[in-house]
Amino acid sequence: MKRRVEIYDTTLRDGTQAEEFNLSVEDKIRVALKLDELGIDYIEGGWPGSNPKDARFFKEIRDYHLRHARIAAFGSTHHPRKEAHLDENLLALLEAKTPVMTIFGKSWTIHVKEALKTTLERNLEIIEASVRFLRPHVEKLFYDAEHFFDGFKEDADYAIETLKRAREAGADVLVLCDTNGGTLPHELVEILREVRKRLGKKVPLGIHAHNDSDCAVANSLAAVLEGAIQVQGTINGVGERCGNANLCSIIPNLVLKMGFECEAGKNLTRLTEVSRFVSEVANVPHPRHLPYVGRSAFAHKGGVHVSAILRHPRTYEHIDPEWVGNTRRVLVSDLSGRSNIVYKARQFGIELSPEDPVVAKIVEEVKKREAEGYEFEAAEASLELLIYRLLGEPKQYFELLGYRVLDLRPSREGPPVVEATVVVRVPPGVGEVEHTAAVGNGPVNALDHAIRKALERFYPQLREMKLEDYKVRVLPGVPGTGARVRVLITSRDPHRQWGTVGVSEDILEASCQALVESYTYKLFKDRKSRGGS
């Protein structure tokens, strides 16, 4: 029978201590519900004694029915100069009315003497009294031994004694914390073995690792192998300084690689979705290079790699990406060979043979454009249009004859007024000429409005699409303001999202290229979906 491991998520508390990672009460509710769907066992909602926002979260989350997860409130042992039943922090924990509570106490003598400003014996009394006071009020009580591994290295006997006091007072699980994140896996294993020898193998242990030496995931997995029954961490490894142990790596490693069981393991196909959801709610970029769940986790660029995965994906993938809800991606760049083009064309619905002369032509054109500064990895719509053009499609839907952008500032106090004027011909060559103007929040927005205004009379479906993201990158080469720039635009309609690219020494010209590509792609895909060309 496989051994079961409890997954304890602290994204809503420890995770929010990361720079630029902030969650409102409403955000925390949404994330908690998503973690429950994933099958997380315990969700640490915050520290009710530290701020009103966390207290409000605990009150509001009671209105929701969680299918599996149990909410935990977090706090510290009582103040050295107070008694447990009079301590505001412990009373706030009771007020949260959660089924699970987690409190932390000092394991390291330097913290007892310098941070708490008390004696070693008094600290032991504080740990015991705090746990004993809370024990009757909760279903589960976890004790986080803060700085345990540093404390053990300094004074092993004292660090062990703090655990004994917490256990004797009623703590269900003793969680050993690598709070400074400096412990290496071989050290952690040695210390855990000594702890189990002194406490006995039946005492339930947990692990809470920080990532300051880039070992948080490895330390967490090593702890489980040494008998830990609970792993604490955060989604995407967010957290103070270098972050916490990343549950998005720990969960699939435990289940797929190590043969352990956890409730979240039953829902692994939702892991990538949850990972990206948390980043989206916190309004931070999703780290593309995250193992298992990152956009680049199963991305292949080198031609040799792509040629191999076309024969058998296991040649360059340690698991099937679908097991964790991710997808395989083949990138096209100046490193690409025929295999990359054949694979991408197949994704676009085009069957090509590697021996087809047009494949060599596409490879040559891609490499030429990348040498000029184009980049197709985030602009696959431009790549798809390029392939179709070299195959004789798609037709040109309109012709941009010219444009002009005026940036006016009526007064020093007021914002600038930007107006774009465009001239387009629909259809190209022989069609009707449309001359329009529009204003916008900046030159690119004004240009977007003006081109749309000119085209929507002919192609009303363009009203469905919107520009979702706009990025400018200065390319290496000519220094200063004369440098070439690359513009990447992300667009969306009710059915799909797509990216297009433009390159020029003129930022407006590069933007215009990417915009025109975006409108063209929309019109082309709409015609394709209706069976046209």
pLDDT tens digits, one per residue of 240-249: 999 999 999 9
Could you tell me the pLDDT band of residue 480, with boundaries at 50, 70 and 90?
low
Q: Are strands 205-209 and 230-233 parallel, antiparallel or unpaired?
A: parallel
Q: What is the pLDDT of residue 355?
A: 85
Among 113-127, 295-309, 440-454, the least confident range: 295-309
Give the mean pLDDT of the chain.
91
pLDDT (tens digit per residue) in 347-395: 888 898 888 888 889 888 888 888 888 888 778 899 999 999 999 887 7
Strands of 344-492 (E only): list them: 399-408, 417-426, 432-440, 466-474, 485-492
Question: Rounded to whole angstroms, how far apart are CA atoms 436 and 432?
Answer: 13
Among 122-126, 177-181, 286-290, the least confident range: 286-290
- Of 41, 46, 50, nearest in space to 61 by CA: 46
Q: What is the pLDDT of residue 302?
A: 65
Residue 396 near residue 428 (C-beta atoms within 8 A): yes
pLDDT of 334 higher than 60: no
pLDDT of 112 higher than 60: yes
Share above pLDDT 70 across residues of the chain, in percent, rounded to a whole number: 94
Question: Rounded to whole angstroms, how far apart are CA atoms 159 and 485?
Answer: 58
Q: Are strands 329-330 and 299-300 parallel, antiparallel or unpaired?
A: parallel
Superfamily for 6-282? Aldolase class I (3.20.20.70)
Q: What is the pLDDT of residue 111?
A: 95
pLDDT of 303 higher than 90: no
pLDDT of 51 higher than 70: yes
Q: Beta-carbon neighbour count of residue 433 at 10 Å?
A: 11
Q: Where are the domains of the chain?
A: 6-282, 299-372, 398-458
Could you tell me the pLDDT band of residue 511, with boundaries at 50, 70 and 90?
very high
Q: What is the pLDDT of residue 424?
A: 95
Q: What is the pLDDT of residue 398?
A: 95
Q: What is the pLDDT of residue 468?
A: 87
Question: Rounded to whole angstroms, how far apart are CA atoms 293 and 423?
Answer: 45
Q: What is the pLDDT of residue 481?
A: 58
Question: Rounded to whole angstroms, how far apart are CA atoms 474 and 373?
Answer: 10
The reply to whether domains 6-282 and 398-458 share a CATH topology is no
If you classify domain 398-458 with CATH, what class do you get? alpha beta
Pairwise pLDDT comparison (258 vs 333), residue with the higher score = 258
The whole-number average pLDDT for the span 412-429 is 87
